[in-house]
């Protein structure tokens, strides 16, 4: 990037912020803080896409701007930079550094290539299905924190470690992020946003909501989502795309590896221990209420520094390790969550919700489209849970005003709440932290967003019209 181009991008970012503060309709955003919150998100998104400064630097914009305009209590904003999820990602990053020291990364990479094969399309299908299935019943932040480092290790092994400049590497990480995002829609356990939906349905019906009903209702939509998203990603590949070598080659390379050493086993066990304990939290939550997934990963990361080699040398020491930790990942994730805090606390999110209520919807396919599109947008700029908490009550009131059963409209809104593809906020910050270009994410993201919005609108309308069970 030339100095002149960089200067232009540097100026456009704050200019978007100022224009939002001055020109956004006051009838929609009645306070300066709400308009400033929208402007901050646009500023961050523009700089993340054009990169006149590093991603991590842009991630601190919520603190910088909030210090000047106070859109939200600063302690709430800062809390995002030391949240439990950030600690989880920090611990996972340290554990995966130990893979490099022991050689476990090469063993995992060669094993994955040996079992799945070198064809990119096969790899995309495998990682997509694995991520979607896990995120259906587990926290998506845990899933993406565990799955992404394994994929990155494989990419480094085959020469695609420079994710930003690798189309193959970028597609693979996007695949994981997309699958983790949509997989949460499959069951109420897929995320807190789904539990918000369940709570509102129980308020509307006055009855306990059975989780099995959720799975049945969303199964047709999940099938369409998985097939369409996978086909979209496969369409972005070529039949000739491979990760290099052949299955036979990777089979030979795997057999050449020496027997696993004790330190390699220790590194693997710590990762598996952190993963299994995080995934089975409900089994010991009553006994150890403080041992949440974030702290499990921190404890295992701590134990990595206690491992010694056979000659007595420490496996890991802080000074060399800190240069290998993916710090940018932590800051991008935190910055995206902080931006969401500004949107919610400033009243901007509520203003968006109020504007939906004033549109004058009639409950037809247009209403369904809006009920899916608005939470999709909000899920990109704030948290999925916040989007659900704000939009669903408005949807219920609109449906009641129209004399319609609100249940199917709640389901439609929940679809939008779970789907976000474009901006590196929330879990989408993880692949960007590992090197994926935010510009590439936006370039691919708007296309799959439009496709998914159309498909989900039509599919939801069809279910509402022809499948009475969808309205129960």
Give the pLDDT mean for 344-360: 77
- Integer Cα distance of 12 and 271 in angstroms: 43
Band the pLDDT of 360: cuts 50, 70, 90.
low
Higher-confidence position of 382 and 349 = 349
Give the closest residue to 62 by CA, choosing from 264, 332, 426: 332
Q: Give the per-residue pLDDT at 459.
A: 94
The per-residue pLDDT for range 375-404, each reduced to its tens digit, is 888 888 776 777 787 788 878 877 877 778
Give the separation between CA 134 and CA 143, rounded to whole angstroms.
Answer: 7
Q: How far apart are CA 343 and CA 337, in angstroms?
A: 10
- What is the rounded average pLDDT for all residues in the chain? 86
Mean pLDDT on 312-321 = 86
Using the predicted structure, report yes or no on whether residue 138 has a pLDDT greater than 80: no
Band the pLDDT of 361: cuts 50, 70, 90: low
In the predicted structure, residue 65 carries a pLDDT above the cut 70: yes
Cα separation, 148 vs 154, in Å, equals 10
For residue 171, the model assigns a pLDDT of: 93
Is pLDDT larger for residue 231 or for residue 190?
231
CB neighbourhood size of 446 (10 A): 12
d(CA 122, CA 116): 7
Q: Which two tokens stand for residue 321?
A: 């390790």
| 3 state SS for 400-469 | HHCCCCHHHHHHHHHHHHHCCCCCCCHHHHHHHHCCCCHHHHHHHHHHHHHHHHHHHHHHHHHHHHHCHH
Do residues 239 and 120 lie in contact, with contact meaning Cβ atoms separated by under 8 Å? Answer: no
Quick check: helix, strand or coil at residue 1? coil
434 close to 173: Cβ distance less than 8 angstroms: yes
**Which residue blocks in 243-364 are alpha helix, DSSP H?**
247-256, 262-279, 281-284, 293-304, 318-322, 327-345, 348-357
Burial of 2 (C-beta count, 10 Å sphere; 0-12/13-18/19+): exposed
Query: Tokens 């994929």 label which residue?
Result: 151
CA end-to-end span of the chain, whole Å? 55
How far is residue 444's CA from residue 234's CA, in Å, rounded to a whole number? 13
Mean pLDDT of 12-35: 89
Q: Report, in angstroms and rounded to the nearest whole number, the Rg of the chain calculated over CA atoms.
A: 23
What pLDDT is recorded for position 150? 83
Name the region of 302 (left: φ>0; alpha: ψ -120 to 50; beta: rest). Answer: alpha
What token pair was written down for 305?
């520094």
The yes-or-no verdict on residue 353 having pLDDT over 80 is no
When pLDDT is cut at 50, 70 and 90, the band that residue 424 belongs to is: confident
Give the model's pLDDT for residue 128.
93
Structure tokens at 315: 């496996």
Taking residues 433-454, what's their average pLDDT? 92
The values of phi and psi at residue 30, to 5°, are -80, -5
Kindly tell me the burial class for residue 275, based on how many C-beta atoms sit within 10 Å of its own C-beta (0-12, 13-18, 19 or more). buried
Residue with tokens 């974030």: 294
- Predicted pLDDT at 451: 96
Categorize the per-residue pLDDT at 245 as very low, low, confident or very high, splitting at 50, 70 and 90: low
Which of 450, 453, 447, 426 is closest to 372 using CA atoms? 453
Residue 367 binned pLDDT confidence (cut-offs 50, 70, 90): confident
Span 158-209, pLDDT tens digits? 888 889 889 999 999 999 999 998 888 888 867 778 878 888 888 888 887 8
Residue 261: what pLDDT?
A: 87
User: What percent of the chain clears pLDDT 70, i.e. is strictly above it?
Assistant: 97
State residue 404's pLDDT score.
82
> Which residue has 């701007």 as its token pair?
65
Please tell me the distance from the alpha carbon of residue 92 to that of residue 141, in angstroms, as a whole number.
11
Contacts 24+ apart (CB under 8 A), 310-313: 310/261, 310/262, 310/263
Mean of the pLDDT values across residues 61-83? 91
Cα–Cα distances in Å, from 342 out to 254, 337, 380, 390?
A: 49, 9, 13, 14
Query: For residue 246, what pLDDT band results from cuts at 50, 70 and 90?
Result: low
Query: Mean pLDDT, to the nearest integer, of 258-283?
Result: 85
* Residue 83 and residue 337 in contact, taking contact as beta carbons nearer than 8 Å: yes
Q: Check residue 275 and give its pLDDT.
A: 81
């Amino acid at each position: 990037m030339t100095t002149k181009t960089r200067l232009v991008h540097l100026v456009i970012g704050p200019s978007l912020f100022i224009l939002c503060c001055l020109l956004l309709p006051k009838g929609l955003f009645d306070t300066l803080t709400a308009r400033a919150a929208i402007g901050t998100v646009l500023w961050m998104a523009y700089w993340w896409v054009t990169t006149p400064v590093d991603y991590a630097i842009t991630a601190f914009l919520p603190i910088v701007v909030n210090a000047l305009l106070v859109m939200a209590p600063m302690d709430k904003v800062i809390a995002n930079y030391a949240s439990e999820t950030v600690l989880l990602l920090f611990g996972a990053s340290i554990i995966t550094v130990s893979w490099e020291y022991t050689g476990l990364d090469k063993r995992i990479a060669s094993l994955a290539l040996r079992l799945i094969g070198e064809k990119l399309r096969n790899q995309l299908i495998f990682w997509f299905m694995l991520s979607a299935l896990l995120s259906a019943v587990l926290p998506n932040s845990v899933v993406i924190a565990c799955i992404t480092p394994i994929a990155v290790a494989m990419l480094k092994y085959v020469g695609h470690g420079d994710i930003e400049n690798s189309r193959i590497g970028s597609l693979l990480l996007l695949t994981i992020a997309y699958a983790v995002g949509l997989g949460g829609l499959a069951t109420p356990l897929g995320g807190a946003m789904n539990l918000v939906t369940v709570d509102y349905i129980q308020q509307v019906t006055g009855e306990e909501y059975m989780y099995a009903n959720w799975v049945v209702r969303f199964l047709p939509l999940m099938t369409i989502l998985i097939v369409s998203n996978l086909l979209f990603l496969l369409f972005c590949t070529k039949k000739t795309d491979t990760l290099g070598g052949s299955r036979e080659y990777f089979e030979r390379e795997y057999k050449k590896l020496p027997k696993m050493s004790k330190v390699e086993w220790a590194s693997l066990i710590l990762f598996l221990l952190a993963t299994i304990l995080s995934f089975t939290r409900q089994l010991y939550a009553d006994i150890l209420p403080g041992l949440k997934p974030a702290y499990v990963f921190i404890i295992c990361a701590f134990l990595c520094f206690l491992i010694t080699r056979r000659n007595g040398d420490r496996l890991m020491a802080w000074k060399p390790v800190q240069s290998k930790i993916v710090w940018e990942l932590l800051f991008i994730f935190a910055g995206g969550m902080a931006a969401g805090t500004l949107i919610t606390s400033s009243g901007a999110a509520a203003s968006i919700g109020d504007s939906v209520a004033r549109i004058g919807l009639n409950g037809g396919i247009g209403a369904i489209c809006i009920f899916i599109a608005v939470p999709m947008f909000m899920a990109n700029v704030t948290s999925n849970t916040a989007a659900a908490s704000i939009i669903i009550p408005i949807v219920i009131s609109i449906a009641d005003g129209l004399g319609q059963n609100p249940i199917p409209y709640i389901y439609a809104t929940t679809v939008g709440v779970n789907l976000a593809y474009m901006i590196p906020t929330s879990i989408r910050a993880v692949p960007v932290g590992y090197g994926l270009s935010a510009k590439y994410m936006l370039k691919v993201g708007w296309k799959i967003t439009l496709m998914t919005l159309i498909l989900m609108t039509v599919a939801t309308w069809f279910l509402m019209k022809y499948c009475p069970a969808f309205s129960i």
